[in-house]
Amino acid sequence: MTIHREGYKTIAISALAFALINLPSFYFISAHQPWLSYLIFLVTLGLLLFLISFFRVPDRTLTVGDNLLVCPADGKVVVIEEIFDEEYFKDKRLQISIFMSPANVHQNRNPISGEVVYNQYHKGKYLVAWHPKSSTENERHSVVVRNGHGEILVKQIAGALAKRIVNYLSVGQKVEQSAEMGFIKFGSRVDVLLPVGTSVKVQLDQVVQGGVTVLAKWS
């Protein structure tokens, strides 16, 4: 396991805050109220460990297959339905949404190999990530990747806690399946828009792993 580069600054600041809180606590409080000093230590240590865990990048055997589409994120499948895409395709698409809790790995990966043909950031609200309107009203970053099988749209969506979406792709870039595409800080959601009729390989409420779990197969 490694720590994602997006977490270096946050963890460094948190570690400094941990020291600045606990050193005075042990010096001034522990002699008179050791239980309070111990409680402060446990709470701040828990928060620091949570932040370190949030930015973790576990070692995994990644899935690669020309006819496969892999999950772009860790989390739970919360939507599998047909929708009308107003942003790019302007027609019906099959939407699969993965909800990422703060406890999940928040690195995002490319579902397929291909060329990036669309990349657009949208300002927006911070509704809870499972809200139906979060796909179209929340802060989000949309990317379309095209290969010989067709085009898919991957949408990184900020949640109520997420205030920063990071996307490393650009139009014209060639990307590899299961390679990193971006990162979302704290609770969030990722939508994948597929051609109608694509063979889906996940179920509602299924827990999936980014870059590992097969999301669908090309028809």
Note the pLDDT tens digit of each residue in 33-80: 889 999 999 999 999 999 899 899 999 999 999 999 999 999 999 999
14: annotated active-site residue: no
Under the phi-then-psi rule, with left for phi > 0, alpha for psi from -120 to 50, and beta for the rest, what region is 96?
Answer: beta
Are the beta carbons of 116 and 172 closer than 8 angstroms? Answer: yes
The yes-or-no verdict on residue 129 having pLDDT over 60 is no
**Residues 59, 8: Cα–Cα separation, whole Å:** 18
Between the alpha carbon of residue 93 and those of residues 20, 74, 150, 194, 195, the distances in Å are 52, 22, 12, 6, 5
Q: Confidence band (pLDDT; 50, 70, 90) for 139?
A: confident
Q: Confidence band (pLDDT; 50, 70, 90) for 26?
A: confident
Average model confidence (pLDDT) across the chain: 91
In this prediction, residue 1 carries a pLDDT of 80
- State the alpha helices, DSSP H only, in 55-98: none
pTM recorded for the entire structure: 0.88
Note the pLDDT tens digit of each residue in 71-108: 999 999 999 999 999 999 999 999 999 999 888 999 99
Q: Confidence band (pLDDT; 50, 70, 90) for 168?
A: very high
| The one catalytic residue among 14, 113, 188, 199 | 188
The yes-or-no verdict on residue 130 having pLDDT over 60 is no
**Residues 170, 154: Cα–Cα separation, whole Å:** 13
**Residues 96, 57: Cα–Cα separation, whole Å:** 23
**Residues 187, 174: Cα–Cα separation, whole Å:** 29
Q: Confidence band (pLDDT; 50, 70, 90) for 160?
A: low
Nearest CA to 52 among 18, 4, 108? 4
Strands 68-70 and 214-217: antiparallel
In this prediction, residue 187 carries a pLDDT of 66
